[in-house]
Amino acid sequence: MIRVGVNGYGTIGKRVADAVAAQPDMELVGVTKTSPDYGAEGALRHGYDLYAAIDDRAAAFDEAGLATAGTLGDLLDAVDVIVDCAPAGVGERNRPTYEAHGTPAIYQGGEDAGIADASFNARASGTIRDADSLRVVSCNTTGLSRLLAPLDEAYGVEKARVTLVRRGGDPSETGRGPINDVVPDPAAVPSHHGPDVNAVLPDVTVDTAALKAPVTGMHTHSVNVTLEREPTAAAVRELLRAETRVFLIPEHAGIDGAGTLKDYAADVGRPRGDLWENCVWEESVSVQGRDLYLFQNIHQEADVVPENVDAVRTLATDVSREESVARTNEALGVGLDSLLSDDGSARGQVPADD
Question: What is the smallest separation between the CB atom of 282 and a second copy, expressed in angstroms?
Answer: 9
Q: How many helices (H) and strands (E) does the chain have?
A: 13, 16
Site for a second copy in 275-304 (CB under 8 A): 281, 283-286, 288, 291, 293-295
Binders in 222-241 for a second copy, by CB under 8 A: 222, 224
179 annotated as ligand-binding:
no
Question: Is position 216 annotated in a ligand binding site?
Answer: no
128-167: contacts with a second copy (CB under 8 A): 159, 161, 163, 165
Cβ proximity of 131 and 107 under 8 Å: no
183 near a second copy (CB under 8 A): yes
339 binds a second copy (CB under 8 A): no
Residues 21-40 that bind a second copy (CB under 8 A): none
What's the min distance (Å) between Cβ of 283 and a second copy?
4
Active-site residues, by number, are: 139
**Does residue number 113 form part of the binding site for a second copy (CB under 8 A)?**
no
Q: 19 with 309: CB under 8 angstroms? A: yes
The gap from C-alpha 112 to its chain's centroid, in whole angstroms, comes to 16
Peptide bond into 186 cis (omega under 30): yes
For the bound state, the minimum distance from the C-beta of residue 184 to a second copy, rounded and expressed in Å, comes to 5
Hey, what long-range contacts does 23-27 have (CB within 8 A, 24 or more apart)?
Answer: 23/309, 23/327, 23/328, 23/331, 24/327, 24/331, 25/1, 25/313, 25/317, 25/327, 26/1, 26/2, 26/309, 26/312, 27/1, 27/2, 27/3
Q: Is 300 annotated as a binding residue?
A: yes
Q: Judged by CB under 8 A, which stretch of 72-80, 206-214, 302-310, 341-349 contacts a second copy?
A: 206-214
Burial 256-270 (b: 16+ CB within 10 A, else e): eebeebbebbeeeeb
Using alpha carbons, select from 80, 110, 72 the residue that is nearest to residue 92.
110
Q: Which of 42, 101, 207, 235 binds a second copy (CB under 8 A)?
A: 207
Q: What is the dihedral of CA 65, 68, 73, 75, to 10 degrees?
A: -150
| Smallest distance from a second copy to CB 344, Å | 21
Q: Which of 63, 93, 175, 180 binds a second copy (CB under 8 A)?
A: 180
Asked if 341 touches a second copy (CB under 8 A), the answer is no
Backbone angles phi, psi at 77, to 5 degrees: -75, -15
Interacting residues toward a second copy by CB under 8 A = 159, 161, 163, 165, 178, 180-184, 187-190, 207, 209, 211, 213-217, 220, 222, 224, 251, 256-259, 281, 283-286, 288, 291, 293-295
